[in-house]
Structure 1
C-alpha cells in the first residue's frame, strides 16, 4: 500500500501499551499532531492474542502505535519465551492486522539489537547482532513486521526515561538524595532519550510519511557515569558520582558497550534532536515522587 503522509489530520490512532513509560507520552503527542487517539492497556488489546488484536483494532483505524514491550533485560535471560511473545509474536499479529485493514504500524525497538562492538554510530541498515535474549526478541519483532508486508515505521531508541515510571533518571535522582556517593559504569556509551521527545519525534516521522527503520533519541552522547553526573548536578544534591567498570557491576544480561544510534535519516526528515542535557533538565523539573 502506498504511503499516505497527508492523511493524518483527524485520523484515528490506537495506542497499545498506553499506560507504560512511553505510552503515557504517546497519546498527547499524537493528539498534538491532530490525530484522534484511542488508548489501550491492561484489559484492552492483548497483542499476544489474535482475537483480541482483531477485536480491539477496528477497520476505521489508520495508525496503530505499539508501546507494549517486555523490557526487563535481565529477566529475559531466563524468560525468553515470555519476552518473545510480547516483543515478537505480538508485533507480528499487530502487523498482520494492519496489513488487513490498510493501517500503518508504528513500532518501537532498541539499541540492544546491536552487539555494541562498533566505534561509530549504528546506521539504520546495520546487521542485527544482539548480545542477549532481550535484544534477540526485539530483533525478531522487527523481522516479523518487515516480513508482514504492512505499512510500518520501526523506531529504534535507547536509554529511555520520563518523569514517571521505572527508569535511570528517577533512580539516580532518588539515590542522590539518599546516599553520599554512588558508583556508575563509565565504559558503556549511548544516547539518552526522553520519552516525551521520542513520542513527539516519532509522531512527526509517522505523519511525514517516513517508513522502514529510523532511529530516534536525544542529541549528543555520553556514558552512564556522565549521564548520572548530569542528573545529580541538575537535582542539586551533594552526592558524589564515581566511575566504575562494567566488570565491577555484573548483571545477568550483557550490555552493549557502544550503542550510539545514527540519527541522520531522522534529522534530515524532521530536524535536529534536542540535546540530551536540555531534555534532562526539563524532565528533572517534573519528576514524579
Structure 2
C-alpha cells in the first residue's frame, strides 16, 4: 500500500491463540506435532536438528508500524507527534504460491525458492552475499526444514558470490518460541527488525546435530530433474558448506558480520503453499 501511494502509514500485525484441545487434536491427527519429548518439553522444538519430529504449538502476537520515508508533506500525523527515527527499513518483498499440498511444502523447494528470489529482485540488491542473515520459517518438521535449506542452497549456487567473504547466518527462532501459526510471521518480522537494529542474531535453540550436507545433497540431486527454476550443481553445496552458518544450541547470540550493511531475509511459509519473504535492512540516515 505504501509502495503504491495508497497510504503513508500502516499498522499491521497478527495474533494467534491455538492452545485448546480441538486444535491440538487436529494437528496431532495430521502428525505435525512433536510427541517425542513429552518428559522434556523444552527440547521438543529443534529446527534443523537431526532429532526434529514436528513443531510445538505456541501463541503470541506482534504488530509493526510501517511508514513512508521521508514523511510526505501531507502526512497528517506529523502535526500531532514527532516522527521517531525508524528502527529498520523494509527493502524487499516477495511471495509465491506452490499449491502443492494442504499442509506439506513442495519438497523441490520451488515455492520457497521463488518467494526468496522475488524478494531479492524487489530489493534491487546487487549480490545475494549482501544478505548477512536468513531467519527461516523452519518449524522443526523433518520435511519442512530440509526443504527450506535446499531452496537456500539452490540460491547460493546461482546468485551467491562471496563478495565480502563473510558467512550468512541461518536460524529459526521457533526453537525459542515454538510455532505461533498466523502470528509467526509478524513476530519474526519484529525479531528481524530488532536484529539489524541491535546487531544481534539469535542462535538455534536445541540444535545439536544439524542436517548434514549429505542429506542436503541427496535432496538437491533427487529434485534436479524436476521443474525447479534452478538445477542442482556442485557449486550449491560448495558455497553452502563454506558460507552458510547455523549457530548451535550453546551459541545463544551471534554478532553480525561487521564488514557491510546489516540485511536480513525472513521467511514465512503458510498452509496451502502461501509463501512470503521480507528483506529488512538496518536504518541508515
- Fold shared, TM-score > 0.5 on shorter chain: no
The structure showing larger relative contact order (alpha-carbon pairs under 8 Å, at least 6 residues apart) is: 2
TM-score, length of structure 2 as denominator length: 0.28
TM-score under structure 1 length normalisation? 0.28
Higher helix proportion (structure 1 or 2): 1
